[in-house]
Amino acid sequence: MLEEPSLAVPQWSLTRISQFCEPQRIAVIGTGYVGLTAAACLASLNHDVVCADISESRIEQLSKGIVPILEEGLSDLIREMTTIGRLRFTGSNSEAVSNAQFVFLCLPTPEGADGSADLSAIEAVSLEIGPYLLANSVVINKSTVPVGTTFFVRDLIDRDDVDVASNPEFLSEGSAVRDFLQPDRIIIGAQSPDVAIRIADLYGDSSQPRCIVVDIASAELIKYASNAYLATRLTFINSIACFCEAVGADIRTVSQGMGADRRIGPSFLNVGPGWGGSCFPKDTQALIHMAEKVGCQLPLVKATVEANDEHMRHVATKVARAVGGSVTNKAVAMWGVTFKAGTNDIRYSPALKIANLLTGWGATVTAYDPSMPGPIEGIRLVSSKEEACRGADVLFVATEWPEFASADLAAIGEVMSNRVMVDSRNVFAIDEAINAGFEYTGMGIGNMRALVDESAK
């Protein structure tokens, strides 16, 4: 299925493209984070958008204005766009594409059993829509897909009068609408300048050189390489945090000092319990798998994945140490279950992986999360921070929701059995926790004084 990627960067690469938005008819297939955000945002850019999904219940909900994901600004935008008639939902992919000039594929590519990306949704939809596509329409892959998939789609569609292109999406959950409408860059992989310019025009109003036009294989790989690089950066900073603890340094100042170097920059240097979510874990695995298939080893990416798993174990061990070395029969209060703040997504959440380790070692975990996700096996979910802490031996802060930082720690301490806290996101200032009577353990915050005293013994 994989075509040999072209190494040639087209001459029209890095083109500055900035036009006003001529309304176009667009079909978006898939109503996940990427599909819903793309559909609503493209509608807000003046286009006539129809968004399709095979899940009837999802389409029914969306048609009633019920948006199943927590994403700042998205529900309002969807409601506004559906009310003015620029966005509608359908359960029929063929109906959606039959009048569309552009078709965005925003389909899931979950991790397969061997780590590769599972392309069955892309395959099924491509085969289904082929006969219904308009002549001169463009099918654009927005999903994160292995190199070669856009050509695979072209072959499945099997239409000489239809173009294919790659336009990977870089939005982050929690800031999806903003990221879509104000992207750092828009990557367009196309086979001709005409197609690239037609796609760039969809994004309209920019007067900045944010469209980067490349060959299709490079566009597909830019997405994987970006995610793997960001994951590597996080693993790096989490590893340095462990080292900080051993030598009495403070990761917060180390990150700040590193980030002040313009070549490094300050983003993605915040220590945490490990990275997770619906993208980094599956995309790093898919990249490793893809590379191995063509005989290329990516030892750094493999090490990043392994070190991330090890880091989560390290955090669980910190919780055990905080309660005397073993969590057996200990009550752990956990604040946050989602993979990060600002989302209700619990896929590959480090909080849950660590909770699983803790329960495996004999602890009970009672958790609270502001997004109030549904029941989760193995942990008890409650509806407030205080309730989670009632009778707890230790508070484990797993996610950086703003409402945690403003908690009244003295009052929280009152309801706990022991005032012990492991703060895996450094949400609290140490003094604040200590003043509220807590034994506090942060991440990557070494205590030089204690180390000196220890070595003097």
Q: Which residues form the catalytic set? A: 279
User: Given candidates 12, 229, 236, 268, which one binds ligand UGA under the rule CB under 6 A?
Assistant: 268
By CB under 6 A, residue 141 contacts ligand UGA: no
Stretch that binds ligand UGA, among 53-61, 73-81, 271-279, 317-325 (CB under 6 A): 271-279
Stretch that binds ligand UGA, among 40-48, 100-108, 227-235, 416-424 (CB under 6 A): 227-235
Beta-carbon count within 10 A of 295 CB: 6
Q: Which residues pair with 397 in a beta bridge?
A: 335, 423
Cα separation, 220 vs 228, whole angstroms: 13
Beta-carbon count within 10 A of 54 CB: 17
By CB under 6 A, residue 367 contacts ligand UGA: no
Q: What's the order of all strands across the beta sheet hosting 394-397? A: 380-382, 364-368, 331-335, 394-397, 420-423, 439-441
Across 185-207, b (16+ Cβ under 10 Å) vs e yields: ebbbbbbebebbbbbbbbbbebe
Given the complex with ligand UGA, which of 97 and 176 has the nearer CB atom?
A: 176
Stretch that binds ligand UGA, among 78-86, 145-153, 169-177, 285-293 (CB under 6 A): 169-177
What are the structure tokens assigned to 413, written together? 């301490």
By CB under 6 A, residue 423 contacts ligand UGA: no
User: Given candidates 89, 102, 275, 404, which one binds ligand UGA under the rule CB under 6 A?
Assistant: 275
Q: Which residues pair with 88 in a beta bridge?
A: 50
Given the complex with ligand UGA, which of 38 and 331 has the nearer CB atom?
A: 38
* Distance between first and last Cα of the chain: 65
User: Given candidates 276, 336, 370, 444, which one binds ligand UGA under the rule CB under 6 A?
Assistant: 276
- Measured between alpha carbons, how far is residue 208 from residues 106, 128, 189, 195 in Å? 26, 37, 19, 20
Query: Do residues 230 and 169 touch, judged by C-beta distance below 8 A?
Result: no
By CB under 6 A, residue 281 contacts ligand UGA: no
- Residue 118 dihedral angles phi and psi, to the nearest 5°: -85, 115
Sole residue written with tokens 């299925």? 1
Distance of closest approach, residue 419 Cβ to ligand UGA, in angstroms: 26
Distance of closest approach, residue 256 Cβ to ligand UGA, in angstroms: 12
By CB under 6 A, residue 272 contacts ligand UGA: yes
Query: Could you give the string, one character per residue 171-190, with x where binding to ligand UGA holds by CB under 6 A and - elsewhere?
Result: xxx-----------------
What are the structure tokens assigned to 304, written together? 């990043």
Distance of closest approach, residue 276 Cβ to ligand UGA, in angstroms: 4
Stretch that binds ligand UGA, among 149-157, 159-167, 268-276, 365-373 (CB under 6 A): 268-276
DSSP 65: T
Cα separation, 63 vs 58, whole angstroms: 8
By CB under 6 A, residue 337 contacts ligand UGA: no
Residue of closest CB approach to ligand UGA: 272
User: Given candidates 37, 149, 167, 227, which one binds ligand UGA under the rule CB under 6 A?
Assistant: 227
Residue ranges that bind ligand UGA, judged by CB under 6 A: 144, 169-173, 227, 230, 234, 268-270, 272, 275-277, 279-280, 283, 339-340, 350
